[in-house]
Structures are given as structure tokens and as C-alpha cells.
Amino acid sequence: MSAILAIAEALDLEVVAEGIETEEQRRRLRELNCHRGQGFLLARPTPLADLSLA
């Protein structure tokens, strides 16, 4: 992961980490200066019935 983040930094790109499920994963990604993240730890999927068309 650190190599990917280093390449992204050299290319002035932001990285989105997917599948973050534990606080340990989140902590490690922050230590590595990962820009963005998503996963069950941060938000669960919304059931289709709960979505509205706006």
C-alpha cells in the first residue's frame, strides 16, 4: 500500500481506499496519508427501500 500511495503522491493523485472494515485498517491508512476511504466501518449500504428519487 505504501508504494501505491508514494506513486500517487508523485503523480499528484488522490487515493481512495476501499473495503475499510476495522479501526486498525483505518489507523494504518491514516498513518500512510491515504486521502480517502470507504467501507463498512464508515457507512453501511443503504437498503433500496430506504432510497428515494429526488
DSSP string, 1-54: -HHHHHHHHHTT---EE----SHHHHHHHHHTT--EE-STTT-PPPPGGG----
Domain assignments of the chain as residue spans, ordered by start: 2-44
Instruction: Select which of 14, 18, 23, 31 is catalytic.
Output: 18
Model pTM score = 0.74
Task: Give the pLDDT of residue 54.
Answer: 62
21 is catalytic: no
pLDDT the model gives residue 1 = 84
pLDDT tens for the chain, 54 residues long, are 889 999 999 999 999 999 999 999 999 999 999 989 999 999 999 999 888 876
- Say what the pLDDT of residue 43 is: 94
